[in-house]
Amino acid sequence: MVAHLDANISEITDPDILSLLDEIDHITGLDRRRFGSLTVMLYLGLSSHPDGAGTRRIPLASSRAIPGLLLTQTERIESHSVMQLCQDLAGRAHVPIQLYENRKLMTFLNAAFKNLADRAKRKRRR
């Protein structure tokens, strides 16, 4: 089985993952259907930089969110596939998901995106 982070967006059929991507689309103004050939990992990176590479990172904000998974505390997420996606993302970003148990999924995603961007900057400096 291909991890959800490595799957193309057009290949995702899990309703919980699709629901999460729809919520991210709503906040960022992007339309994931336009980016079907991107992997979920690349799409998540694009969602934190909707104006393109080299622009300032824009964190997901609860003021623009619709009620759903993003506003749910990570410990209360019942979807196994969403939790697996978060654990895979946590592993790549080196952000322990356990530190975010009492916080919203949106907070975890923002921390993971920031950590990935910081790691990329450090890697370029070497």
The per-residue pLDDT for range 47-61, each reduced to its tens digit, is: 887 766 677 778 888
Question: 39 - beta bridge partners?
Answer: 8
In angstroms, the CA 100 to CA 3 distance is 22
Give the pLDDT confidence score for residue 52 in this predicted structure: 66
Residues 70 and 20 sit within 8 Å (Cβ to Cβ): yes
Q: How far apart are CA 53 and CA 68, in angstroms?
A: 28
What residues contact residue 24 under an 8 Å CB cut-off, 6+ apart? 30, 32, 44, 47, 60, 70
Q: Flag residues of the chain having pLDDT under 50.
A: 1-2
Inter-helix orientation angle 80-93/105-125, to 10°: 30
Scanning the structure block, which residue is given the tokens 């309703």? 15
* pTM (global) more than 0.75: yes
Write down the pLDDT at residue 1: 38
